[in-house]
Amino acid sequence: MTEVAAGPELNVAPGSIVIVRDEEWLVTSAERGSDGWLVRVRGLSELVADTTAAFYTSLDAVEVLDPADAKIRSDGSSGYRDSRLWLESMLRKTPIPYGQQSLTVSTRMLSDSLGYQRVAVVKALDPAHIRPRILLADSVGLGKTIEIGMILAELVRRGRGERILIVTPRHVLEQMQHELWCRFALPFVRLDSAGIQKVRQKLPATRNPFTYYKRAIISIDTLKQENYRSNLGNHRWDAVVIDESHNLTNAGTQNNALARLLAPNT
């Protein structure tokens, strides 16, 4: 009878940080088999962020990062500002129950929300609607961007807004990106055709470029191009915002086709 070696001992457990294939991963489970370890992970570094994978130690080198090697630094900021900001960001990343409709973060951002805006947010969060479709049709100047920011901030707080796409006309793209960042601390990567091509150069040919950034803001003129349709059709979003959606109503147009492509995948 031939005995199969169990492989080298690996000091790893759920919560460990490992380096595999030059990328950083968070271990979600580890199982020892007859020929080594099966390590299931979730990506941490930029290229693999939030993706899941499984590695066998018999095939891949798994380097476990030792917490004892971590360097502790004191917070020298005024009033421990950096630490407080970090704690606040961690609290905002902690999901709250799905059915809780009370607004948690959007009313405490850098904006003065009004009653009709809060009503729109509550409707978007209504647990009776798993996949809500919200049309914001307020008149010019009544704060539709504020309502969008409030809705997205609440979705993020609830763990329902990891992958967000904002589609907007090119002339207001920078303004919306600025408002969402400055008022709601929601960072969106602004992409145009050249930006998407740069992403493609960094990725394997089979990788969808829209998986590279979790939150992107792109002009409708860029997205409606035919060469992006297959990639968009194969990617799912937690939320999609289409600004000035009255431009999508004419059936048979590229704008309308883009909206019909995105809607089922969000």
8 or 172, which is more confident: 172
Task: For residues 116-141, give the mean pLDDT.
Answer: 82
pLDDT at residue 19 in the model: 94
Can you give the pTM of this predicted structure?
A: 0.67
Whether residue 1 is predicted with pLDDT greater than 50 in this model: the reply is no
Paired tokens of 145: 């961007």
Q: Are strands 215-219 and 189-191 parallel, antiparallel or unpaired?
A: parallel
Over range 54-80, report the average pLDDT. 89
Q: Tell whether the model's pLDDT for residue 6 goes beyond 80.
A: no
For the segment 84-100, what is each residue's pLDDT rounded down to a tens digit? 888 877 777 677 777 77
* pLDDT value of residue 8: 60
| pLDDT, position 4 | 41
Name all domains of the chain by residue range, CATH numbers in brackets.
17-66 (no CATH), 80-159 (no CATH), 162-266 (3.40.50.10810)
Of the CA atoms within 13 Å of residue 264, those in its CB half-sphere come to 6
Contacts of residue 26, defined as CB under 8 A and 6 or more positions apart, other chains included, come to 15, 16, 17, 41, 42, 43, 44
| φ, ψ of residue 239 in degrees (nearest 5) | -150, 140
Note the pLDDT of residue 196: 83
Q: Is the pLDDT of residue 3 over 50?
A: no
216's tokens: 């992107």
As to burial, measured by CB atoms within 10 angstroms (0-12 exposed, 13-18 middle, 19+ buried), residue 154 is buried
Cα–Cα nearest to 135, from 126, 147, 127: 147
Mean per-residue pLDDT over the chain, rounded: 84
Q: Which two tokens stand for residue 137?
A: 């049709």
Average pLDDT estimate for 94-109 = 76
3-state SS, one letter per residue, for the chain = CCCCCCCCCCCCCCCCEEEECCEEEEEEEEEEECCEEEEEEEECCHHHCCCEEEEECCCCCCEECCHHHCCCCCCCCHHHHHHHHHHHHHHHCCCCCCCCCCCCCHHHCCCCCCHHHHHHHHHHCCCCCCCCCCCCCCCCCCCHHHHHHHHHHHHHHCCCCCCEEEEECHHHHHHHHHHHHHHHCCCCEEECHHHHHHHHHHCCCCCCHHHCCCEEEEEHHHHCCHHHHHHHHCCCCCEEEECCHHHHCCCCCHHHHHHHHHHHHC
Ranges 1-5, 140-144, 189-193, most confident = 189-193
Nearest Cα neighbor of 218 from 174, 260, 261, 259 is 174
**The predicted structure's pLDDT at residue 5:** 45
